[in-house]
Amino acid sequence: MNMEIFINFTYIISCMLFAFGLKMLGSPVTARKGNFISMSGMLLAVVVTLLSNHIITFQWIILGMVIGASAGAFTAYRAAMTQMPETIALLHGFGGLASLLVDWSAYHNHPTANLMISIPTFLSVVIGGVTFTGSCVAWGKLSERLPGKSIKFPGMQFVNIAILISLVVGGFIFISDPINNYPIFLAIMAVSFIFGIFLVIPIGGADMPVVISVLNSYSGLVACTTGFVINNTVLIVVGALVGANGIILSIIMCKAMNRSLTNVLFGGFAPTVKAKSDGEKKEAKSMSLEDAYLVLEAAKSVVIVPGYGLAVAQAQHAVRELSELLEKNGCEVRFAIHPVAGRMPGHMNVLLAESNIPYDQLVEMEAINPTFDTVDVAIVIGANDVVNPAARHDKASPIYGMPIIDVDKARTVFVLKRSMATGFAGVENELFYYENTSMIFGDAKQTLQGLIAEFKASAAA
């Protein structure tokens, strides 16, 4: 009894550590410490669970830990910052698969007719299967191994409805007699894998940040249901926390895109929409590095808007150096962060934190938008849809109504891009043709390094 009390008390401590860690992840200042605290809580729970279970053969557990830790360390070491979104998606998928395998093992070794076990087992297999294959598709889209656009075929909605019905019917059959319905269980697992693929392939690349957040929620929910299957309190609590956190984050991101969660999951962005022509041929202005330097040298207020292009160019360290030179020149520098900039939630925050940019310079969209009338220069680095003014007035645009960063209201706008290509939503950005906008074409890192060289040359003169 004393041992049981000790285990439960340790589980409570573990859950508290995990909850506090999640809370601290809400701020860039405390995120790293929060991540460490959450990991410590999970490690504590794993150690106590292993010590409390006398049937475990530790040599296999140690072997599994070594293999898993080695694979995780290798993946983290090799993954570039541009690969972080697809890496996160893949990790969510493996989390769902791990829970599914645990439930399969529990059912295979100890089949029971207890509804409190059979119902969570069914839910775990369905959610785990959907999470795994859905995450694999998200990984493929984000890594460009699969087309990033929405993939649909005629009758796809009817196929998905048929799959959903088959899962529900199969679930009723399995739950009614789980001991004698092992083939039904395997069929449910196979159909769940297929359902995960069909759920994610029609979702366009612009919605991928929300998809990653939803998959994060799924991985938490399947961990929670697994906790009921194997009667583990920590899995129930932690899974519920992660599931709720993922749902809340998904809703927040959908709000930032002016879209409903159901629309993202079952709709995807509309087909590519070209800008409407008013009879005049539009031309974007380009600017040289030298002229851009002269404008920045005279600026007293600069706002930098990072996007996925910043990650692609690995230009975060260069942008930090430029911001420091601007500040030495008496300029106020801030970074405007859009909730869905990049390819995953918080992507830009992580990217800028990597280059040690002070946290107080990162300003959320709602806080910085009212100040753009006083901004001398806005520098857009690789962002596209999140700064497109069409979202405010073009009702025919698929991004209409999505809150954007109002860079077009700044006195001068520099857009650093390789080309005039559209963003993930496939929509032409009318910002590029505004009178106060100048394009600086080329690799963002090289462009920033060129501006840095101009500042240093002027200082040395």
Catalytic residues: 385
- Rounded Cα distance between 165 and 173, Å, is 12
Q: By C-alpha distance, which of 39, 37, 89 is closest to 347?
A: 89
Q: Which residues neighbour 268 within 8 Å (Cβ) at sequence distance 6 or greater? A: 150, 152, 202, 203, 204, 207
Q: Residues 308, 86: contact at Cβ < 8 Å?
A: no
Cα angle 66-68-69, degrees, rounded to a multiple of 5? 65
**Amino acid residing at 23:** K
Count the neighbouring beta carbons within 10 Å of the beta carbon of residue 362.
18
- How far apart, in Å, are the Cα atoms of 194 and each of 101, 137, 158, 183, 200? 17, 11, 14, 17, 10
- How far apart, in Å, are the Cα atoms of 268 and each of 113, 152, 204? 40, 10, 5
- Rounded Cα distance between 238 and 226, Å, is 11
The 437-441 sheet, strands edge to edge: 362-364, 332-337, 301-306, 377-381, 412-417, 437-441
Name the DSSP letter for residue 30.
Answer: T
Rg (CA), the chain: 25
- Rounded Cα distance between 381 and 303, Å, is 11
Partner residues linked to 281 by β-bridges: none
Half-sphere exposure for 229 (CA within 13 Å, toward CB): 28
